[in-house]
A and B are shown apart, each in its own frame.
Chain A
């Protein structure tokens, strides 16, 4: 595939068009496959072209002469419904029918650089940019209309792109553009539509891609079928740092369909005509290789002790000189330590990517969360100019953070380099995904607090031990796992530990004296961003500890929290939860227990409060999570059903982490290799979930996709305590840890 010409002047000269079309599946124009009944028909528009900078309207919103609106975003669809939400914003701001709108996500050949799709930032970031660009486009077009129709802006009536002036004179966006290209910048001065006039924002507009999914249409990067495509598998080393001693290629090369084996240091890949032939070859490779295997240290039984003893000198994140005095003077003083094991992203579909080298140019079709960081890191890997690499984002299986998506993309590109002209489709096997993804780091949270007689928190001292929560690729090839195993390996520099470790460690509660220390720890397992980063464990600890403080202060957990909050929106979320759960009337005579928890994600994003209900079976010494009720407030709600879907999902996923998950390993390597050795929650054990949204259309939208992770963990711990009297501070919360 040829790269779009990135020289803007040349582009403008050669096309002279304003706005362009796009493809739902962003590569089909270069690979028409008429025989394939499942390939989506490309929307026939004007050819693709690069974006010209974040400050141009055209980088976010394009209109064509036929009446289509194309929205561009650097953010990726990860199953969170971002495409639909951004289209809603654009359609409202342009005041057009939503059916006119299409969207392109994450393509270095077309969309603006918006970094990674992470941290629940897409609506706050991309949504804002698209809203402003759309407002600016509309403002500009209305000015053109005003001149053409010879009337003032106030005399214009706009409806679905048609503009009516005085004496029934009419024009439209499309007519005004007349195939012209206007390079307009976003001034920020265009008026933003009053939210009361929104037709789509705030409504549960269904995700159109779900209709395609239920019909089995091509949707995932896994579903791409390109000409000259061959299938690849990578034989990853048996454990971290293992080195290939010898390989007997002949047996593998003799297998049917095998087209080649690529070995570079300890990086081994095989390509074959058919996918299953590649799988067979991969199995044969396992038997045909000899490795030197270092052992993993420390082992799980010593992990947390090692964390405390080997951590670096602490970073002081926040310090109050009076904290000792405040703690000493508090009539109620408590100290507790909490632990979280390594957790897995555990994507349902193994990572997959396609890559092709042709005429010294590389194209990668990737499920990455960030096409631009992937591009710059690939440029480092191959020591080529950025302009020689195009990364096209295509949906993958849900990733929930930094999983194998970037690694598989780099590996596909490495293999493609060795077999130029062929399109390499690489898919990981289940064990690759389970063993080689970077996990959410194990952590220790040690909390101490003092509370007054009146139940007001006086001082809060936190210590956190953690490995990095972000080792994403940002330009250094050593962040790709396989780049470290090449003959000339790229060094992995962990770099600065991210603020992700102490995300949400500062309580939102109104506390006069706060201390926060972070002990960075270089742990035994590969770690990086998993949904919520440190917020999951920090909120688990903080909100479990709040319950301990409430209990010791002999106060109701709602009252204790509300009394210590000043943030009205936080209080409103808790009040709503209290009302929806009918908290005061909850029966407590039987085997049920109830727990609540609350957080404002990152202390800057969505507010979320949750109640968990558990039921114990003392005879069987077991318990079950039966119900969760959540209340979320994310400012202006773009799509209530989208928020509910994301929040329900976050709640169930967090319940799974909290109840049953922990990555297992021994000195020889990984023990969590599949769904039996790393089970996750399935339908039989999934609780009922209810989610309520507080919409504040007058306020800016807040990121919501990760808000549930932490509070759910604490609510479950609190419910288990309520039910059994056992306070479990070490995740996962299993029946064996309960003192029956």
Chain B
């Protein structure tokens, strides 16, 4: 069942021996020790498991890991450069955009996808981008504020 699979995660290529049918989320958490992408629903409804795949936000809780071979997978763990935070991480921290924090990963990945194609999004574009991520604490207004802050503070997106 298990097969060697080459995955590129946060810039590093690693070969893992896994069931190719296993959804990427479990491989990222178990083989790459990532914490960012999380299990939320397993149904593509909540966005907890999002990562960037070739720059686009992708669910990982159902899609087999084998289909991610040859693609660039990025998680929030790969954002900071040493001690230097990514502008979006800085903005989330400065705005204190979290309560329990379970959805922070999904919100950040959804925002990154938006900002990659649009460095100065309008309010409604930010809302639409974050709409796919479930937040139960009601931190939405801070996430929106943090994304807005990231767009205005720096062009280093």
Q: Are B101 and A210 closer than 8 Å at their CB atoms?
A: yes
Q: A429 CA to B41 CA in the complex, in Å? A: 7
Q: Select A210's contact among B98, B127, B132, beta carbons within 8 Å.
A: B98
A649 touches B139 (CB 8 A): yes
A215 B136 Cβ-Cβ under 8 A: no
B108 contacts the other chain (CB 8 A): yes
- Residues of B with C-beta under 8 A to A682: 130-135, 140
Q: Which residues on the A side are within 8 Å of B77 (C-beta)?
A: 38, 215-216
Rounded to whole Å, the gap between the CB of B74 and the closest CB of chain A is 11
Q: Taking the nearest CB of chain B, how far is it from the CB of A77, in angstroms?
A: 9
Contact at A348–B135, with CB atoms within 8 Å? yes
Q: Is B96 an interface residue (CB 8 A)?
A: yes
Q: Does B22 contact A (CB under 8 A)?
A: yes
Q: Which of B36, B45, B103, B127 is close to A675, meaning CB atoms less than 8 Å apart?
A: B45
Please tell me which one of the listed residues B40, B45, B88, B94 contacts residue A349 in the complex, with CB atoms under 8 A apart.
B40
Cα–Cα distance between A712 and B128 once the two chains are bound (Å): 24
Q: How far does the alpha carbon of A376 sit from the alpha carbon of B89 in the complex, in Å?
A: 41
Interface string of A645-685 (1 = CB under 8 A from B): 11011111101100000000000000000111000111110
A567 within 8 A of B: no
Contact (Cβ within 8 A) A348 B127: no
**A80 on the B face (CB < 8 A):** yes
How distant is the Cα of A78 from the Cα of B98 in the complex, in angstroms? 11
1/0 contact string of A213-257 vs chain B (CB within 8 Å): 111111110110100000000000000000000000000000010
Q: Are B19 and A216 in contact (CB under 8 A)?
A: no
Question: Whose C-beta in chain A lies nearest to the C-beta of B147?
Answer: A683
Choose among A211, A216, A345 the residue that contacts B36 (Cβ–Cβ < 8 A): A216
Q: Tell me, rounded to whole Å, the shortest Cβ–Cβ distance linking B88 to chain A.
A: 8
Task: Say if the beta carbon of B58 comes within 8 Å of chain A.
Answer: no
Q: Which residue of A lies closest to B127 (CB)?
A: A683
Q: Which B39-71 residues have C-beta < 8 A from chain A? A: 39-43, 45-46, 48
B40/A210 in contact, CB under 8 A: no
Kindly state the separation between the CA atoms of A147 and B75 in the bound complex, as whole angstroms.
57
Q: Are the C-beta atoms of A684 and B105 separated by less than 8 Å? A: no
Which of A38, A395, A656, A683 touches B100 (beta carbons < 8 Å)? A395
* B34 beta carbon closer than 8 Å to chain A: yes
Find the residue from A37, A214, A349 having the highest chain B CB count within 10 A: A214
Q: Say if the beta carbon of A583 comes within 8 Å of chain B.
A: no
On chain A, the residues within 8 Å of B89 by CB distance are 214-215
Provide the A481-505 mask, 1 if CB < 8 A to any CB of B, else 0. 0000000000000000000000000
A323 → chain B, closest Cβ, in Å?
A: 39
Chain A residues whose CB sits within 8 angstroms of the CB of B1 once the complex forms = 256
- B138 touching A650 by the CB < 8 A rule? yes
Give the contacting residue for B105; candidates A81, A216, A275; CB below 8 A. A216
B138 surroundings in chain A (CB, below 8 A): 648-653, 655-656, 681, 686
Report the bound CA distance from A350 to B102 in whole Å: 10
Other-chain residue from B85, B96, B135 in contact with A206 (beta carbon distance below 8 A) = B96
Contact of A652 among B96, B98, B141 (CB under 8 A): B141
The number of chain B residues with a CB under 8 A from chain A is 60
Q: Is the CB of B102 within 8 A of A210?
A: no
Task: Please measure, in the bound complex, the distance between the C-alpha atom of A204 and the C-alpha atom of B94, giving whole angstroms.
Answer: 11
Do B102 and A348 have beta carbons less than 8 Å apart? yes
Contact, CB under 8 Å: A79 / B43: no
Residue of B33, B104, B127, B130 near A37 (CB, 8 A) is B33
Q: Is the CB of B99 within 8 A of A675?
A: no
When chains A and B are docked, how far (Å) is the Cα of A398 from the Cα of B100? 5
Tell me, yes or no, whether B7 is within 8 Å of chain A by CB. Answer: no
Given contacts A256-B19, A275-B30, A398-B100, A350 and B39 within 8 Å (CB-CB):
yes
Q: Enumerate chain A residues within 8 angstroms of B144, measured Cβ to Cβ.
A: 683, 686
Q: Is there contact, CB below 8 Å, between A674 and B98?
A: no
Q: Contact check: which of B30, B35, B94, B126 meets A216 at CB < 8 Å?
A: B35
A150 contacts which chain B residues (CB < 8 A)?
Answer: none
Interface residues on A, range: 35 or more
B142 within 8 A of A: yes
Interface string of A722-734 (1 = CB under 8 A from B): 0000000000000
- Asked if A274 CB lies within 8 Å of chain B CBs, one says yes
Contact of A219 among B35, B42, B108 (CB under 8 A): B35
In the bound complex, what is the Cα–Cα distance between A80 and B100 (angstroms)? 7
Does A210 lie within 8 Å of B96, measured CB to CB? yes
Q: How would residues 88 to 128 of chain B score, 1 for a CB under 8 Å from any chain A CB and 0 otherwise?
A: 11001110111111111100100000000000000000111
The answer to the question of B29 belonging to the interface, with a C-beta cut-off of 8 Å to chain A, is: yes
Q: Is the CB of A207 within 8 A of B98?
A: yes
For A367, the closest partner residue in chain B by CB is B100
Contact A214 B142 (CB under 8 A): no
- Interface residue from B33, B42, B133 paired with A279 (Cβ < 8 Å): B42
Taking the closest CB of chain A, its distance from the CB of B17, in whole angstroms, is 11
A688 beta carbon closer than 8 Å to chain B: yes
Q: Is the CB of A213 within 8 A of B141?
A: no
Would you give the shortest CB distance from A553 to chain B, in whole angstroms?
Answer: 34
A347 pairs with B96, CB closer than 8 A:
no
Bound complex: CA of A365 vs CA of B139, how far in Å?
Answer: 26
* In the complex, chain A residues 66-124 whose Cβ is within 8 Å of any chain B Cβ: 78-81
Taking a contact as CB atoms under 8 Å apart, the answer to whether A427 and B102 are in contact is no
Q: Is the CB of B127 within 8 A of A684?
A: yes
Across-interface contacts of A215 in B (CB, < 8 A): 76-77, 79-80, 85, 89
Residue B38 at the chain A interface, CB threshold 8 Å: yes
A651 CA to B80 CA, complexed, in Å: 33
Q: Residues of B contacting A276 with CB < 8 Å? A: 19, 22-23, 26
Give the residue of A81, A674, A684 whose beta carbon is less than 8 angstroms from that of B128.
A684
Contact assessment for A79 and B99 in the assembled complex, using a CB-CB cutoff below 8 Å: yes
Shortest B128–chain A CB gap in Å is 6
Hey, which chain A residues are within 8 Å of B137, CB to CB? 79, 348, 398, 649, 653
Q: Give 25 CB contacts A-B under 8 Å.
A: A79-B99, A214-B89, A215-B79, A348-B46, A349-B48, A398-B100, A398-B136, A430-B40, A430-B42, A430-B43, A430-B45, A649-B99, A652-B140, A652-B141, A655-B138, A674-B45, A676-B43, A676-B45, A681-B140, A683-B128, A684-B128, A684-B131, A686-B138, A686-B140, A686-B144
Task: Please name the 5 residue pairs, one residue from A and one from B, whose CB atoms are nearest each other, closest first.
Answer: A652-B138, A79-B100, A398-B100, A216-B36, A649-B138
A residues adjacent to B (C-beta < 8 A): 36-38, 78-81, 204, 206-207, 209-211, 213-220, 222-223, 225, 256, 274-276, 279, 345-350, 395-398, 400, 427, 429-430, 641, 645-646, 648-653, 655-656, 674-676, 680-684, 686, 688-689
Given A210-B101, A276-B26, A641-B96, 5 additional A-B pairs, CB 8 A: A215-B79, A274-B30, A430-B43, A683-B126, A684-B131
